[in-house]
Structure 1
């Protein structure tokens, strides 16, 4: 019986997320109301408040889930409980994830009411770059922090450009180009 309740809760939360994501695609975050989210999700207002404190809490949970999905595409946990990168010779899985979720990412990046999304995405990318950047060779005369921020801005900026311009290149071509640039700049080996 407990399993049915869990499934119902999961379905309700999923409906609320989808309603919220579709509203974000249509209007600025600040203009969205809990009533609109509830109506679109086909639940009552109290149900939304049962799961989320307010629309800001819902936004944070939505951003967290989607950014965690990116992490799950690029990492796994080994038998020792350590996080292991799956990205060894291609960004293609990540780029395909962005392609599959283009509507959400375009909405979040375009919506002027949500600057926190780009900031969080940048923080996530920076933490990954910091781990992988090679400070030897051409990079040895630079500050690691400076290089990390530079490459983070470039990475997030080019992803944003690709998504917001309707993905003018195939995911394969885009991933290959991005991989080459990061490799050339010693962010990946």
Structure 2
């Protein structure tokens, strides 16, 4: 089952059910690690039958993928809104800032439910990777030329963003978000130096 989180063809009942399960998983992740969450926990908290859950998702991993994709797609839209045409690298700093702010606002969900779960963090890294790769491909179609292949840039950059955000949260968010974003911007500008105009 392949679920598009932005599929406007989904009927209202389906979208409401997806949101209910999405919100339920977020609540459960503030209480326990993702590994310890069972389908029955999700169904009990959402007050639905297991058969209803399986009409929408194959398993809890697909639900988590849905939840993370929706979050990152929201970040991506906002990042693009705040990115000026003359500074495309601003996109990465914006994306990083939104991720850090979300982690700060949902600290329990990340520290209890996600950060100590390898499969969940790999899933998040994969989604961020796809997001960054898509942006790099967009830059290429708009005249940017990279010395380093964009697949390698995306594969290097996305785990770095997710890992450093997770470490920042686990170490008590001592470094201000503004400084973290500045560091991200410095790295993005270093990548900019590896770009050449066509």
User: Same fold by TM-score, threshold 0.5 exceeded?
Assistant: yes
Q: Does 1:63 align with 2:65?
A: no
Superposed CA deviations along residues 131-186 of structure 1, whole A, max 9, x for unmatched, are: 469777xxx5x666555544444333322322333332332222122212321343
Question: CA–CA distance in 1 between the matches of 2:86 and 2:69?
Answer: 19
**How many equivalent residue pairs?**
173
Q: Does 1:96 align with 2:98?
A: yes
Alignment of 1:20-169 (within 5 A): 20-75=25-80, 89=90, 91-92=93-94, 94-102=96-104, 103=106, 104-106=109-111, 107-124=113-130, 126-127=132-133, 130-131=136-137, 146=152, 148-169=154-175
Question: CA–CA distance in 2 between the matches of 1:119 and 1:88?
Answer: 19
SS state at 2:118 partner: coil
> Which of the two has higher C-alpha Rg?
1
Query: TM-score under structure 2 normalisation?
Result: 0.64
Which of residues 147, 167, 178 in structure 1 aligns to 2:184? Answer: 178
Question: CA–CA distance in 1 between the matches of 2:38 and 2:135?
Answer: 37
- Give 1:36 shift: 0.7
Cα RMSD (Å) of the superposition?
A: 3.7
- Give 1:113 shift: 4.4
Query: TM-score under structure 1 normalisation?
Result: 0.66
SS state at 2:115 partner: helix
- Give 1:33 shift: 1.6
| Cα 1:11–1:146 shift into 2, 3 Å | closer
Structure 2's unaligned 5+ residue stretches are: 1-10
Q: Larger relative contact order (C-alpha < 8 A, sep ≥ 6)? A: 2
- Give 1:54 shift: 2.4
